[in-house]
Structure 1
Amino acid sequence: MAQRTPVTTTLTAAVTAGVAASLASVDAELAHRYPGDPGTRQPVHTVYVPADRLAADTVRTWGDRARALLAAHAPDAASFAGILGLPADLAEPVHQRVHAKLAAEPVEDLRIDFEDGYGRRPDAEEDADAVRTARLVARATADGTAPPFVGLRMKCLEADVRDRGIRTLDVFLTTLLATGPVPRGLAITLPKVSRPEQVAAMATLCHEFETAAGLPAGRLGFEIQIETSQSVLGPDGTATVARLIDAARGRATALHYGTFDYSAALGISAAHQAPDHPAADHAKAVMQVAAAGTGVRLSDGSTNVLPTGDTARVHDAWRLHHRLVDRALARGYYQGWDMHPGHLPTRYAAVYAFYRSGLGPAAARLAAYAGTAMQDAPTTVLDEPATARALGDFLLRGLDCGALDPAEVTDRTGLSRTRLTVLAGRRAG
């Protein structure tokens, strides 16, 4: 038995304890502000439907219309892959999964829009729509036909529409509660935020409603739309997004980029307002840094180029949308807005191709890191814990959206979902 080498030190235990005591408040603040990913599923998109157009069959109709477009303009796997430039080995798997998704769950996240897509209406009309849509959500939740995530986008808290926005939120939530429990995937979107005080006011509204309605504290969260210049850069020249998250007092669930309001605010001409404009990339990079580690999710904006008209126009719009979604995924934006049923095929095609093409390399690297790879498997990349977390998160996201199957991930990595969650650094969700 080898003898242990004596180890000597200079610093006393009191010194170590003193450092720990001096950093105790820092440790606590870091743990509070940066809890990490919440460990729950994130939708791959958000579909916005104006409140007056929402019907009981809206989600199913979107799926039917998307499949009809595929049948008319890309009737088989080879033609669909050819339009989008997918590799031959992904053509059939992606095509099958897209069709299955459009039949079973065409919309992952539905936002009932009372803002720009709805406009200003007489109070009685907006009240009626808030009641009607809340009842539709409650009914769909009860019978299992609701999307996994559903909610409303209220009017903003700027002075001229503030009272109307608060009333619509109140009417919607009150009606929802009168017909059943708050849906687990309920989402509330606060648009056109320009100051942290508006976010703080929204947090107060959520708290007051919870108290009055007898809901558990913290049950209501909300998404912050980043679509004004002031939400990215304050009047004193300081970055603002992190302050918005802080002002939410733990209730911010996501940051959503608003392509067209933000572009217009910066004076970008209509022809160049797009999610891949350099100004959009800057705003989204600021959002990404501010949200990192906080558990606040990110969502890209939308394109307004719709796949309508003749086949050539539909194909051009599909290529553009597919490229934008794939670009966002590569940049760490795993969610975006879809504005038309024709966007669904290319949303899911891009998402499924992204995860399926990355499955082999990610699984091999994670297996090597975790020590579950075959002994003769070559090691070509030496990964660190931070990269292992990213690899685990990649595979979990692929599982959550249906791009990957649990059996194939476990077979390639030798890891259970529980083990993947630990390696990804996610909180148990």
Structure 2
Amino acid sequence: MAPVEEAFLVELDRRLAGADAELAALYPGDRGVRQPVHTVYVPADRFHAGTVGEWAQGAKEALERNAGSGSELAEALELPTGLSDELFERVLAKLEREPIEDLRIDFEDGYGTRPDEDDAAISAARAVADLVKTGEVPPYYGLRIKSLEAPTRRRGVRTLDLFVGELARAEALTDGFVITLAKVTSVEQIEAMVVVLDAIEEAHGIPAGALKFEIQVETPQAILGPNGTTPLGRMIKAGAGRVTGLHYGTYDYSASLGIAAAYQSMEHPVADHAKDTMQLAAAGTGVFVCDGSTNVLPIGEREDVHAAWRLHLRLVRRSLARGIYQGWDMHPAQLPTRYVATYLFYRESLDSAAKRLRAYVNGGDSGYLDEPATAAALATYILRGLDCGATAQSELDTLIGIDTPTLAKLARRPLRA
């Protein structure tokens, strides 16, 4: 049989050129940036330059009052394998070093409708600028604005313009700045948001395309359009490279589907369906998916705190196991369980993942037949643990013997300068 001629292959390339280009544009893969393990929401009227420190102190005080050691915390959380002193110390160190990975100043539901929102926007932006200048700002930070629905559209845009303008004048806009757009109901709103950001960048002398935003998925219309398809993929495309995340809104979404308040939860079937859809839409795009929150806060009597901690720990671990690596935290006392759950997740399979990856790279028998896609997942798991502080590079040097750039290459994560 004669081999396929070169001319035939050239024609095949021509036929598929458009599809190849569209695939590369719409599904570029990992953006090469760290995903925060959580987003902390603080109402705008309660935010000031000392907020991050107050949250760290609140988290440490919650531990001191309700579980002063690793063994006490393990007992409170009913961890069958206990909690090592090393992991407990890692959590304490995290609360000292970087208690909040992603901070969102809330001008939406957490703030409400007030006559003084202009003043609050300017004051909050100036406090953020102070944190940027002193190097105390979290890796990611920003604000949540009111939706682009007709009743709140002008208020949301004005607050965003005032806030960004203050940061621009203070030269306090960094790559970590992100905007959350609430209650999105249509692709047209995403297109409008791009127009808004274009105008704000031009007005304040900000480089074109610098401002990024997250889509808050908390309405039925964001999951299923009137034509029977999900608009999320089209929303990401309409964002023109500005969309960085899809954030699930637990309670607005559940309520809009008629779920009774007592049953509204991150683990309700309607929540799982929404988040499954979000994961499918975001896969391969470089857009992060973020889970919602629990409204059961660890406050009150010791027994109540322990019960709320156990719920939070379980929900965080559930999200991680489902491949959703970020969620919301609404109270300082949720930080300990956020980091305990996250660190347990990234450490409990570390030895196995390292063994498999070492065998994949160097050749050897790990007991698994791992393909490139699985090797990428193993490397991503290890890098995520390194990003949040669950593991240290020195451990990886011993366990795997490869450096971070090599891990990033295996994870298909582009290196950033």
TM-score band w.r.t. shorter chain? over 0.9
Q: RMSD of aligned C-alpha atoms? A: 1.2
Partner of 2:266, secondary structure, is coil
TM-score normalised by length of structure 2 = 0.98
Q: Does 1:419 align with 2:412?
A: no
SS in 2 for 1:36: coil
Answer yes or no: is 1:78 the counterpart of 2:78.
no
What 5-or-longer segments of structure 1 have no aligned partner? 1-7
Q: 2:58 aligns with which of 44, 47, 65?
A: 65
Deviation per CA, 1:236-284: give whole Å up to 9, x if none: 1111211111111111000000000000010000001110111000000
* Aligned residue among 274, 282, 296 for 1:283: 274
**Does the CA-based 8 Å contact 1:80-1:91 persist in structure 2?**
no
1:342 to 333, 337, 345: 333
TM (normalized to structure 1)?
0.95
Larger Rg: 1
TM-superposition CA deviations, 1:58-89 (whole Å, max 9, x none):
11111111111111111111111222244647
Matched, 1:403 2:390: yes
Matched, 1:239 2:230: yes
Q: Does 1:134 align with 2:121?
A: no
After superposition, residues 223-372 of structure 1 pair within 5 angstroms as 223-371=214-362
SS at match of 1:23: helix
What CA distance in whole angstroms lies between the structure 1 residues aligned with 2:212 and 2:181? Answer: 10
- How many residue pairs are counted as aligned between the two chains? 416
Give the deviation of 1:338 after TM superposition.
0.3
Q: Is the 8 A contact 2:249 2:292 kept in 1?
A: yes
The 2-side partners of 1:271 and 1:23 are apart by: 52
C-alpha deviation, 1:90, in angstroms: 4.3
Structure 2's unaligned 5+ residue stretches are none
Q: Distance in 1 between matches of 2:83 and 2:413?
A: 29
Residue among 18, 21, 26 paired with 1:25: 18
Task: Report the residue type matching 1:66 in the other structure.
Answer: A
- Which residue of the partner structure matches residue 3 of structure 1? none
Helix, strand or coil for the counterpart of 1:414?
Answer: coil
User: Aligned AA for 1:109?
Assistant: D
Equivalent AA in structure 1 for residue 143 of structure 2: L
Aligned residue runs from structure 1 range 192-207, under 5 A: 192-207=183-198
Q: Deviations over 1:125-156 (max 9, x none)?
A: 11001000000001110011111111000110
2-structure distance, mates of 1:248, 1:392:
29
> Secondary structure in 2 aligned to 1:99?
helix
Q: Deviations over 1:294-322 (max 9, x none)?
A: 00001000000000111111000000000
Aligned equivalents of 2:65 and 2:407: distance in 1?
Answer: 41
**Residue type of the alignment partner of 1:77:** G
Aligned to 1:383: 370
Q: Distance in 1 between matches of 2:159 and 2:213?
A: 15
Name the SS for the 1:298 alignment partner.
strand
Equivalent residue of 1:342, what SS?
Answer: helix
Aligned residues with identical type, % of pairs: 54
Q: Write the deviation string for residues 368-408 of structure 1: whole angstroms up to 9, x where unpaired.
A: 11116xx5xx4211011111111111011000000010111
